[in-house]
Amino acid sequence: MIGALPVRGSALTAAQLRARILASSAVPYQGYAESTVDLGLPDLPDLGDVSTLLDGTTDQYAWYRSPGQWRADVLTTAGENDVYQAGQATYLWDYGRNLLTQITGAEPVRLPRAPDLLPPALGRRLLSFASSADRLSRLPSRRIAGVDAAGLRIVPADPATTVGQVDIWADPASGLPVLVEVIGRGASAPALLTRFLQVSGSRPALATVMPAPAPDVGVSTARLPDVSGILRGFGPPLPGRLAGAGRIPAPAGLRDLGAYGTGFSRFAVLPLPGNVGSQALAAASGAAAGAGQVRLADGTGVLIETPLLTVLLARSEYGGPVYLLAGAVTPALLMRAGSGLLTSMAGDT
C-alpha cells in the first residue's frame, strides 16, 4: 500500500517552496477536500451561511482547470450546493431550490464561500499575507492524499495578530497546497484545518466546470455582490486610519466597507444598519462563551473572542448603525479600533 511506503523528502528551501506555492494558481487539479473550522461564533443575521462555514465541517468536490474555469460542489444533507467560475461569470447552484443563479460582472466584495476553504485557495491567500518580518521554515514532508507533500511553516512576527502559525503542505513539484492548518497564538490544536482526502493533478474536462442546467431548472441573474444587501450607503464615510492601521483602498463605490492593516493583522469594518445591527447585537450578547459587553469611547459594544477570530459589534451613544469589526487580531487592537471609529463618527454627526 502507498500509505506504508516511506515519505520522500524535499530539498526545497522555505523560500523556494513559498515561491512555488504562490505560483501554483495555474496548476489544474480535481479532488475531494474536507475543511474543519472551530471558531465558536454565534449566528449573525443576514450573513448567509458564513456562520455555518466558520463553525463545522465542510466537504466538497472540486474541479479546477484555471483561475477562470473551475467548479466546487459542497455536499449537504439535502444534496449539494455548487459554485462555478466560468470566465467573468460566477454561477451558484442550489440543489434544494432547484435554482441556478448567475452573478454577472466583477464582485468587488462578497461574503466567504466554501471554495475559499479549499487547500490551494486558502494556502495561497494566507501565504500572500506573509511579510519579510514573518519567519518561514521547512517542515518534514507528509503524505497527503497520496502526495509526498513538502511542509512550510509561517510564524507571524506582528504581536497584534492572533495567528500563531500557518502550516502548509504542498506538492513540491507543482506547488499545489494539499493541506493547510491555522493555529491560534498559544494554542496547540488548529482552529482551521483543510485538506484533500483525494486529489489528482489531471486537468478536468471543460464540460465538467461549465453549468448545464436541465430544462426544469430555474435560472436567475444577480448583479450585486452578496454583501450589498447589508451595505446601503448607511452612515458617514469610514476614517483613513484606525488603531494606527491605515485603510486598504476599497473598490469604487464601496465607501462603507473598510479593511485596515497589513499582513495577518488585517481587520474589516462594515456597518449593520437598522434591524440587522440590533439583531446582531442581540445574537452576540446571547452567545454562551467568549462574548462580553465592553465600554468604548463614545459608545458600547459586544466583544466575541475565539482562538483565532475576534469580532466586535460597536454602537455609538449618539445613534447610527451598529459597526461590525472582525479580524485575526487581538481584542485590545479591535477595541482601540472600535473606540477610534465611534469617536470619528461622533465628530461627523
Q: What domains appear along the chain, each with residue ranges and CATH number?
A: 2-222 (2.50.20.10), 230-348 (3.40.1000)
Count of CB atoms situated within 10 Å of the CB of 96: 11
Higher-pLDDT residue of 105, 247? 247
What is the three-class DSSP state of 199? strand
Residues 38 and 8: beta-carbon distance below 8 Å? no
Enter the pTM of the model: 0.89
3-state secondary structure of 334: helix
- Tell me the three cell numbers of residue 108: 468587488
Check residue 112 and give its pLDDT: 81
pLDDT digits (tens, 9 = 90+) for 167-220: 999 999 999 999 999 999 999 899 999 999 999 999 999 999 998 877 777 777
Q: Please state the φ and ψ torsions of residue 343, each to the nearest 5 degrees.
A: -65, -45
How many other CB atoms are there within 10 angstroms of residue 125's CB atom?
11
Q: Which whole number is the average pLDDT over 107-116?
A: 76
Residue 84 pLDDT greater than 80, yes or no: yes
Q: For the chain, what percent of residues have pLDDT higher than 90?
A: 58
Per residue in 156-166, pLDDT (tens digit) is 999 999 999 99
Planar angle of CA 200, 204, 210, nearest 5 degrees: 140
DSSP assignment letter at 201: -
DSSP secondary structure letters along 86-110: ETTEEEEEETTTTEEEEE-S--SS-
Report the distance separating Cα 118 and Cα 229, nearest Å.
26
Instruction: Express each pLDDT in 259-318 by its tens digit.
Output: 999 999 999 998 887 777 777 777 777 664 556 889 999 999 999 888 899 999 999 988
pLDDT at 24: 98
Give CA separation, 163 vs 122, 192, 337, in Å: 14, 11, 19
